[in-house]
Every structure is written in structure tokens, then in C-alpha cells.
């Protein structure tokens, strides 16, 4: 029998709130975290909206020195980790080095803001003014390293990057580490902070972003017939995973069990999903097989649901291919309708939404769903939260490069 893996702690920094209770409450009320860009003057850009993290003061949280020596994505991860460790009731960071606790934090891009800031300094003030902290701040593994150092963790410490599937892959691979005995506890998730003129311009020029500048709260509309692209977001989601034995031995509160993980590749195109959704369907089937569950056992799907014309249509097609007639009985919703696309953090934040659905019995809505699309014909929980009482939830993440990652969570039942 393989080791069972349970969720015991959650932490989040998001455009809808900088802690899990606020994030979840705003999700259920259908509030949008998307608005005009405030981090810089976007007036020269064709897209001037994003899903920014608000009221995040790194100096107040970490002190001036640490705030200056870490990229924004690392600071997000550190704060979300602090919340998750506290939520789990773990005793870490007391000077005791722990070899049984590991870290796996993913990011799609890493410390891009640090790189771009120092490139500007190089051009304007010369090479001697480039920060000596630039490399350790910008490297993608900076967040994982910072967490391990802060809490004295000598278990596996790894960074993973697979575009928009990163967060789900991070949780799935962390669970595998626990299953094979590499660690008893894994601090895992994703973090991203890439709201910058160059990333906005690049995503816009490839045709990926919504251009609804005049109505930002209505810009992200997954599965709606008038969707025109995703909205770039930022934030972090951190989940504490434990072996069931370790959690029970210390009397931990258990949210739910992570029972299935599936990964695949489209092997098709660097940005576009494969037209029939075969790679996405394969990842869902692998997650179901890993969990030992039939498609009919799933009650809720947290969709990748980006609000791009291609993704939403193809994800719908993939869900129908896997679930058949049962697809019509599934509740399906998109967290991105409210928080935008958090890139490497998306899968982790959306996993937290699944965990909260299993805990509370509520499923959050897909907001801005106003115009049905004949090719997107599932129950997307339009515009209002719903009491579903799900027992099993599936979370989908599909990324550029054709990377696919799916997670299955099951309500915690001691006798299961």
C-alpha cells in the first residue's frame, strides 16, 4: 500500500486578498480582483489592466533589509508559506534543522522584475551599479531556497517550472516525494510576479490578453462566447502536504486528501493547445487512474479556464472526452475569472480553492458568464456560488509548451 498524502495547511497572497479566508470569501461573493494597473504608468500600452496583489507591504512584513534583497515573487512565497506553516500548526524555524521536511516551489518565470530593474540600472548608471544580489534574487529557485533557509529545512529542496501548469505539477511531485519516503512534510506551491510593461506588451502582441481596458472587472470571462483573452495576474499559493501517518501522529487538522496526480504533454505547439484536447484528457485520465477513481466519482472541476478562445473550447472538449455523459452533471468553474492568470502560481492557488470547496461544501462561480458559447456547453456555475457538497474535486492546469497537470482531492474521511 502506498503512503497516503493529506493537506494540513494553506497560505495565499492573491489579487482577492492576502490570506486564505479573505481570498475564499471574495471568491464566493464573485468579486473581481482585476483593475487598472497601478505598479507603473501603463498609458503607452494597449493593455492597461491586470490582477495585481494589493496592500502588500514587504517592509512591514519582513523589514527593509530582507524586502530589498528578495524579488517580489519570493516575498509572496515567503508570506504565503508563513501563513501555511502557521495554519498547519507546524513547529518550524526554531533553530532545529529538519531533514524530514522538504520544499518544492514552482514559478513560471521567477525574478523577472529584478532582472529588468537591474538591466535599466546597467543602461542608465553603468555596470558597477548593478546589484550584487541580482543573481540570487532573480534565479527561479530563489523562493524555494529562501523558505528552506528561513525554516532550517534539509529535506528535498527543488524548483519546478512548467509554465501555467507549474503550480499543479509542484503539488503533484511533492506528493510523490512523500509517497516514496523522501519527506514526511512538503511545503509546496507556486509564486509569480511578472506584471511589467514588457510582459504585458509581449502577451498582448501574441494575442493572449483581453483588451477590455474600460471594464476591467468584466474582462476575464471564461467560457463566455465574447471572451477575448486572459488577464495577467500575480500572487502565490502554498500548501502543506504531509504523510497521513505524520499528520495523525502530531494531531494535525486535516483538510482533505490528495489522492490523484496526472501529467502529460500535448507534443503539438509551443503556445496553442492541441485541437482535440487529447493531452489534457490524458492528464485527467492519469489523475483518475492514480486516484483509483472512476470519472463518475468526481463532483467538481476547477477548470484551467483562462478566457482565451482556444483554451476554453478545447478544455471543454477534453472534459467531455474523459467524463462522457457524467460531464453534464459536473460543476465546473474558473478561479481565473476573478484573479486573472497567476501563471506559475495559478495551479497552487486553484488547488486551494478546491480544498476550500471540499471543506465548506461551496463551489465558487465563474463570473462574467453572460453569453453561452455552443462549443462550451458545461455547467460553469455562472455568476453565483453554489452549494454542491463535493466529495471529490479535480483541478486542471494546462501550460504553454503543451504541459498538462491535474490534481484530484478527496474530502477527508478517516475510514476511507
The DSSP bridge pattern shows strands 300-302 and 331-333 to be parallel
Instruction: Using CB atoms within 10 Å of the CB of residue 61, give its burial: 0 to 12 exposed, 13 to 18 middle, 19+ buried.
Output: middle
Distance CA 141, CA 192 (A): 12
DSSP 295-343: GGG--EEE----S-HHHHHHHHHHHHHHHGGGGGG-EEE-THHHH-B-G
Grid coordinates given for 247:
499528520
Which is the catalytic residue, given 117, 169, 196, 304?
304
Confirm whether 326 is a catalytic residue: no
Q: Where are the beta strands (DSSP E) in 57-184?
A: 101-106, 157-160
For 190, the 3-state DSSP assignment is: strand
Which is the catalytic residue, given 117, 169, 246, 341?
341
Angle, vertex CA 51, rays to CA 49 and CA 57, nearest 5: 120
Helix (H), strand (E) at residue 264: strand 256-265
Confirm whether 304 is a catalytic residue: yes
Q: Which residues pair with 386 in a beta bridge?
A: 363
Are 167 and 237 spatial neighbours (Cβ–Cβ below 8 Å)?
yes
Among residues 232, 200, 223, 203, which one has the least CA distance to residue 34? 232
Residue 138 CB contacts under 8 Å (≥ 6 apart), including other chains: 71, 110, 111, 112, 114, 115, 118
Question: Residue 243: what are its φ and ψ, rounded to 5°?
Answer: -65, 145
Can you list the alpha helix ranges (DSSP code H) found in 33-71? 58-62, 64-68
Which is the catalytic residue, given 164, 220, 354, 406?
164
Grid coordinates given for 44:
503607452
- Catalytically active residues are 164, 304, 341
Amino acid at each position: 500500500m502506498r503512503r497516503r498524502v493529506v493537506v494540513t495547511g494553506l497560505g495565499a497572497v492573491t489579487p482577492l486578498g492576502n490570506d486564505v479566508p479573505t481570498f475564499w470569501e471574495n471568491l464566493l461573493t464573485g468579486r473581481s480582483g482585476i483593475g487598472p494597473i497601478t505598479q507603473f504608468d501603463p498609458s503607452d500600452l494597449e493593455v492597461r489592466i491586470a490582477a495585481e496583489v494589493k496592500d502588500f507591504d514587504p517592509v512591514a512584513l519582513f523589514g527593509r533589509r530582507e524586502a530589498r534583497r528578495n524579488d517580489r515573487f519570493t516575498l509572496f512565497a515567503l508570506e504565503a508559506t508563513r501563513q501555511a506553516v502557521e495554519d498547519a500548526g507546524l513547529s518550524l524555524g526554531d533553530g532545529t534543522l529538519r531533514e524530514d521536511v522538504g520544499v518544492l516551489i514552482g514559478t513560471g518565470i521567477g525574478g523577472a522584475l529584478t532582472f529588468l530593474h537591474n538591466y535599466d540600472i546597467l543602461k542608465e548608471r553603468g555596470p558597477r551599479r548593478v546589484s550584487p544580489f541580482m543573481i540570487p534574487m532573480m534565479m527561479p529557485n530563489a523562493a524555494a531556497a529562501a523558505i528552506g533557509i528561513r525554516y532550517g529545512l534539509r529535506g528535498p529542496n527543488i524548483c519546478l517550472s512548467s509554465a501555467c501548469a507549474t503550480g499543479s505539477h509542484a503539488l503533484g511531485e511533492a506528493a510523490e516525494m512523500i509517497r516514496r519516503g523522501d519527506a514526511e512534510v512538503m511545503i509546496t506551491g507556486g509564486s509569480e510576479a511578472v506584471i511589467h510593461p514588457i510582459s504585458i506588451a509581449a502577451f498582448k502582441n501574441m494575442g493572449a490578453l483581453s483588451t477590455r481596458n474600460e471594464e476591467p472587472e468584466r474582462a476575464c470571462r471564461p467560457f463566455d462566447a465574447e471572451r477575448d483573452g486572459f488577464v495577467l495576474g500575480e500572487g502565490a499559493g502554498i500548501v502543506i502536504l504531509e504523510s497521513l501517518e505524520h499528520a495523525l501522529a502530531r494531531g494535525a487538522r486535516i483538510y482533505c486528501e490528495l489522492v490523484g496526480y496526472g501529467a502529460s504533454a500535448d507534443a503539438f505547439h509551443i503556445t496553442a493547445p492541441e485541437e482535440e484536447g487529447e493531452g489534457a484528457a490524458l492528464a485527467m485520465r492519469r489523475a483518475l487512474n492514480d486516484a483509483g477513481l472512476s470519472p463518475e466519482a468526481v463532483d467538481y472541476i476547477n477548470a484551467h479556464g483562462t478566457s482565451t478562445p482556444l483554451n476554453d473550447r478545447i478544455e471543454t472538449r477534453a472534459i467531455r472526452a474523459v467524463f462522457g455523459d457524467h460531464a453534464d452533471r459536473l460543476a465546473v468553474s474558473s478561479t481565473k475569472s476573478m484573479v486573472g492568470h497567476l501563471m506559475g502560481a495559478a495551479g497552487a492557488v486553484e488547488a486551494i480553492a478546491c480544498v476550500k470547496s471540499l471543506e465548506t461544501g461551496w463551489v465558487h462561480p465563474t463570473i462574467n458568464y453572460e453569453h453561452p458559447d455552443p462549443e462550451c456547453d458545461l455547467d460553469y456555475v455562472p455568476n453565483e456560488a453554489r452549494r454542491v457538497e463535493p466529495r471529490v474535486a479535480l483541478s486542471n492546469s494546462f501550460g504553454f509548451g503543451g504541459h498538462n497537470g491535474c490534481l484530484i482531492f478527496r474530502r477527508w474521511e478517516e475510514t476511507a
